[in-house]
Every structure is written in structure tokens, then in C-alpha cells.
Amino acid sequence: MKLELSVQQKNAKAEFRAFVNQEICPDAGEWDRKEFTPPELINKIAQRGFLGAILPQEYGGQGMDMITYGILNEEIGRGCSSVRSLLTVHNMVAHALCKWGNKSQKQYWLPKFASAETIAAFALSEPNVGSDAKSVETTATLAGDVYVLDGQKKWITYGQIADVFLVFAKCEGKPTAFLVEKNSPGLLIKPISGMLGVRASMLAELYFHDCRIPQDNLVGRLGFGFSYVASSALDYGRYSVAWGSVGIAQACLEACIEYTSQRKQFGVYLKEHQLIRQMMTEMIANVKAARLLCYQAGYLKEIGDPSSIIETSIAKYLASTTATKVVNDAVQIHGANGCTSEYSVARYLRDAKIMEIIEGSTQIQQITIADYGYQEYMSQPTPAVITQNILARM
């Protein structure tokens, strides 16, 4: 089997790379220090159609194939993981609504998501709930023709600027999904700052106190919140993070190639030292391996193969752990310079650690992948059963 990008995909990659080099790379460090993403950049991303990348063209989206969408995430992640995370959460909500929203919700919201007239954010995590996402404590109660939400959400990416949130709450004891607009009465948004990495992603806490939303803002049905709505969104989130992790690793590789070709020690360039060449060899091989797993996951998503879910988890696991390993070596190669804000590898180090936590931690992926291995190689159930077991775990 020959794995090769189409001409269209190669052209898209070149376009994405040029955009990132011109519009993102020069200022990513400054945005990280200020913990802020400028609206001018978001407008440029929107004008390119990147925020409507996976939406069907009938709603004004790009209708990108999954490989091209993955490449987009790699390239933007190479420039700035925070900006890439905007694509992640916005498209997670867009995908969830496209799959589980009713006709009127799709007709109203999806064109706004595609044009980025409306920015969407994903609100699942809570102060006491992270990996155990089914145990959300936020509640929703039907009162007449409105739902009343009470509770708190935390670590909401781009929550400071989002116009609408996909919020998960217990309703009649069942995890359920709702659309909540930022100006809803009873919703308070509080910025979060001082994070280790992905600092420009404008995190927020959401406080719901007697927050009333229209009954029509229910997404799917009662009890659909986690197993259906959240799981489908998180699968796309993991795919984006996997490719973004490859982007971080690729950025480190490129930074090290440049640095070792310019800096001399003991009378020769660093790239001439055998131990440096060993580290570079491992970087190159690991980046390529992670990217190949992402290609595999993307291909399976594109053809609708149910095994794409576990392959995405495998890609996310390897890509995120690879990014951490590669960036550790990159900082080591840069020495003291790599510990300063003058060199981007310091930012990559902080961002890479976040990739091992978000959209399913490394440990959650290990549990999921090991379960899959035992199911596949011992009991050999059908792909549909494997998929159901994975979703139950996640």
C-alpha cells in the first residue's frame, strides 16, 4: 500500500504552512506571554474558512476531508497550540450539533459556526470532574418551557470569548447536553490565567446560578449527553489534539535543525556531534511515526470505519507522548537558551505537557488501548462491540 497525499492535499498543506508562517509564528510567543489571542487573527482564520473546516458545504462550511483537516491542525499547532485549540473546541461543538442537533438547531447555528460569526466552546469539565466525565455535578431542571441550570464548569477553552457553549449537565439524573448562550441570565464567566501551557487559549470558568435557557436548547435527548453527544465531540477533539501534538514535535524538529546548524561547541557545529545526531534521528523517526498514525486515523474516519475511534485514541496517545519526548530533547539540545522565552522550545515544552492531559489523559488512553487489545486479540468481538466498549469506557 502506498501512502501518499493527493495533489489537493499537498496544495492545502502548502497553503496552511504559508499562512502559519506569516500570520502565527512571528507573534505566537507574544500571545503566550499576554495570554491572549487577538481578534484580528481570529478574523483571518475565519476568512480562510478554517473554523468551518469540517462542516458540510450546505451550511457554509469547507467540507474538508479528514486528512486535510488533520494537516490543518498540524500546521496551526506547529505555530501556536493555543490557536489550534480554538479550531478544536469550535469544531467539536460544530460536529456534535451537526450529528445530534435537530433541524432547526442546525439551520440556525451551523451557518454561524461556519462563518465564525458565532464562536462555540465545549463545556464538560468541572472542578470535581475531569476524566470521570459521566459524573458531572451541574444540574438542569425543566421548569415550564425552560431549563434551569445550576453548577460550575472549569478549564473551558476560549470560554472568555465564546458566544455559545455546549454544556453538559445532569437532568433527571441523566447526562444531557444543552446550548447556552453567553448572555443567558444567570451565567457568569470568569477568566482563568497563569496556566502552565497553551496560555493564549483564554480559559474561563462558567458559573450557572438559576440560569434559564429555552427548552429548545436541548441537544439530542435526555441521557444522550455523554454516550452520544460528548463522545462524538471528544473523538474529534482527540483527533485534533493528536495532529496538534505532531505539529509541536515538528516545530521542535525544525528548531533543532536550525539551532544545531548555527551553534558551535568544541570547534564544530552541534550537528556534527554524534550524540546530537542520535537525538535528531530519534526525533525524525518519532515524528514520522506519530504522523503516520494520524494519517491512519484520518483515513478510517473518512471512510466511516468504526475502528477509527480506537485508532484515534492510539494516535492521540503516541503523538502526545512523542511531543513530550521530542520537546524534552529539543530543550536539552538548546541548553540554557532553551529555558528562556527567546527560543520557542520553552513554550513548546509547556504546551506539550498539556497535550498529555486534554481530551483524555495519557493514562485514560492507556486503559482504553489496553482494553481494546485484550478484546481484539483474545475474545475477537465484532468491530461494533469493540466500539461500544470503548465508548462506555470514555
Catalytic residues: 359
Pairing of strands 164-171, 120-123: parallel
- Whole-number Å distance between alpha carbons of 64 and 281: 33
Residue recorded with cell 552541534: 270
Q: Are 71 and 29 within 8 A, CB to CB? A: no
Residue pair 76/16 in contact (Cβ under 8 Å)? The answer is yes
> Whose CA is closest to 77, among 290, 306, 340?
290
